[in-house]
Structure 1
Amino acid sequence: MRRFPAVFDLVPDQVAQVVQLAGLAPSPRNSQPWRFRVLPHVIELHAAPSQLLPTGDPGDHDLRLACGAALLNLRLALAHAGVLPVVTLLPRLSSPTVLAEIRSGGHQRPDAEQIALYEAIPERRTQRRPLQPTAVAASIQHALRVAARAEGAWLHLVRPAEHDELAGLLRRLQADAEPAPLLAVLCTPGSGAKSELEAGQAWQRVWLTATARGLAATPLPLAEGQDIRDALSRLLGDTPHPQAWLLIGYGEPAPATPRRDPGELLIDAVPNSGHR
């Protein structure tokens, strides 16, 4: 097994655990399009676009959404290890494949919410079966909205009056999509690569919040449907930029998907290919 370098006063086994948990994030077709470079004082999150299928992600929207989710996992894992992570998205002087740099801002003790989200990381699954019609309590819906806001995003939970029109858009995106107790649209104030990375972190925080409260979720990223995103923006008031759907409810336990060994996620040198 590959030996991990030490960083942020963490021993190699702790660093391996952090990278392993980051690698449990959701990604299109389980492509896991992320890599990590561990240097003495920084961890770099790199895009690995070669891991994605050649079609289906115009502009790398879903890649950045997935890498943002991996970044949220990384932050939670570092916090659990006592490190206060300080993140720079799309650092200007770095390689084009670098999506984020993570440094230590000192030591911290994780709070109860961070611990709950950390513990939900290995429990999170993509639900591929229909969700049960059981209603989701208002208190949980509020917690999901709060989770999105914590990452600078907005979670729109579809109201009954909007359901028919939004459900029609959903069927355009995925013809066999099943109804769910909660149809949620994750939005960000802006658009572009940085907003997509921020959306990925919010997407994962909402999903982990749902998991921690016994809910299941089916993701429907919006990369392939710019016309649908435009229609959503008009329906939601033009201001927000829709980034992803989540169908949320109660479901049967789902199996875990295979994951790469953490050592396979490490890189020693910066890739030559451009990306951003």
Structure 2
Amino acid sequence: MNTPIRAVGSLAAERVREVLLAATAAPSLHNSQPWRFRCTPDAIELHADRSRAVPVADPDDRELLLACGAALLNLRLAIQMAGVQADVRMPPGRSQPDLLAVVRPAGRRPATPTCVGLAGAIHQRRTNRRPFQPTPVPLPVRNQLRQAAEAERAWLAIPEQPQLAKLRSLLERAHQVQFADPAFAAEWRYWTGRDLDARDGVPARSCGPAREPQDEWVLRNFGGGSAKARVSGKDFEPEPLICVLGSFQDSLSAQLHAGMAMQRVLLTATTAGLSASFLSQAIEVPAARKELRALIGGGLWPQAVLRIGYGSPVPTTPRRPLEEVVEGEPAHTHRG
């Protein structure tokens, strides 16, 4: 695919390229980048790319939709940074089940200070799998993270003791269930420990140190066998800030909104100087997800579990070029 980027609505071609680059900077399960974008004269369409699904870890495409929701939030913010209104519609998926959203950039709207801050964090955000400092996250910052989730119609639950002890046990059991499955282990090896020239997946340079059996928090080894050994005295922080991002429903639309909320939380954390990584086994194993829902009160559907704290700088993970994820409108399209 070698589709040139053209103007869309009130966005010039170069600005369209910028907003699409922002969209593709979103996080995704194993950096699978399960999205496609279609540019028409007046809109940017977001489609799920199910050819890039991770079917063993994510058989229901839950995390695929979270990733697409995160990309959608980035797209919205980048358009608003251009001083343009981003009109987002989420059409029902009966005729085009992979069409998740249509974003029409039209009209003028000055970017708010909040938008400026969040958009500025899009290319600074990293998934940080390395140890964090033991410094606790202050209460005002925790409140900002909660407010970020609420702004996108979701909720951020922050478990307290003794919930954390139960959550640690839940994560350990889910971890064991997954790696006892040869299909999961094979899928894991496929996506992780990638070479430096890879365009997707998790490169070895982005993995954290190998975990030890006695780790309180189960941080999975993304190094594909190449992770550095743990160094005595430089273990992972004993009490990270653990947050459960939950939605009020569990429909496909709610999962997409949860992805936008997750990304807004991650960007808010980035603006506060925080790092984050995912404890996804609690979401990927159905029994663990059910137990987690009960743990946070039963009124929310857990969609993501985040580990947040003060981390050291980490390198970027690769992204596919826009030419591989963007297509233009067909030359002859009949509109009934």
**For residues 67-106 of structure 1, what are the structure 2 equivalents within 5 Å?**
67-92=68-93, 94-104=95-105, 106=107
1:161: how far off?
3.0
Residue identity in the other structure for 1:164: A
Contact 1:22–1:74 (CA<8 Å) still a contact in 2? Answer: yes
> What is the total number of aligned residue pairs between the two structures?
270
Match of 2:269 among 196, 205, 210: 210
Contact 1:132–1:180 (CA<8 Å) still a contact in 2? Answer: no
Tell whether 2:158 aligns with 1:157: yes
Residue equivalent to 1:117: 118
Return 211-220 or 259-268, whichever deviates more: 259-268
Quote the Cα distance in structure 1 between the aligned partners of 2:279 and 2:92.
Answer: 28
- 1:91 aligns to what SS in structure 2? coil
Based on CA coordinates, which of the two structures has the bigger radius of gyration?
A: 2
**For residues 21-100 of structure 1, what are the structure 2 equivalents within 5 Å?**
21-92=22-93, 94-100=95-101
Match of 2:324 among 253, 261, 264: 264
1:20: how far off?
0.6
Runs of 4+ in 1 over 4 A off after TM superposition: none
Tell whether 2:247 aligns with 1:188: yes
- 1:72 aligns to what SS in structure 2? helix
1:263: how far off?
2.3
1:216: how far off?
0.4
Contact 2:250–2:301 (CA<8 Å) still a contact in 1? Answer: yes
1:90: how far off?
4.0
Quote the Cα distance in structure 1 between the aligned partners of 2:82 and 2:261.
Answer: 21
Residue equivalent to 1:274: none
- Deviation track 1:88-110 (CA, whole Å, cap 9, x = no partner) reads 22434652210111123522111
Contact 2:144–2:268 (CA<8 Å) still a contact in 1? Answer: yes
Return 27-36 or 170-179, whichever deviates more: 170-179
Contact 2:11–2:105 (CA<8 Å) still a contact in 1? Answer: no
1:160: how far off?
2.5
Residue equivalent to 2:194: none
5+ residue gaps, structure 1: 271-276
1:50: how far off?
0.9
- 2:126 aligns to what SS in structure 1? coil
1:3: how far off?
2.2
Quote the Cα distance in structure 1 between the aligned partners of 2:157 and 2:175.
Answer: 19
Residue identity in the other structure for 1:109: P
1:2: how far off?
4.5
Residue identity in the other structure for 2:292: L
Tell whether 2:318 aligns with 1:252: no
Return 31-40 or 100-109, whichever deviates more: 100-109
Residue equivalent to 2:296: 236
Residue identity in the other structure for 1:198: H
- Deviation track 1:225-257 (CA, whole Å, cap 9, x = no partner) reads 221121122122211111110000011111101
The percent identity for this pair of structures is 44
Residue identity in the other structure for 2:242: L
- Deviation track 1:73-129 (CA, whole Å, cap 9, x = no partner) reads 000000001121121224346522101111235221111111111010001001111
Residue identity in the other structure for 1:4: I
Structure 2 length normalisation: TM-score?
0.76
5+ residue gaps, structure 2: 177-217, 220-235, 331-336
Quote the Cα distance in structure 2 between the aligned partners of 1:22 and 1:192.
Answer: 23
Contact 2:9–2:106 (CA<8 Å) still a contact in 1? Answer: no
- Deviation track 1:27-54 (CA, whole Å, cap 9, x = no partner) reads 1111111010011122110011112334
- Deviation track 1:130-173 (CA, whole Å, cap 9, x = no partner) reads 22211001110000000000000000011123211122222233
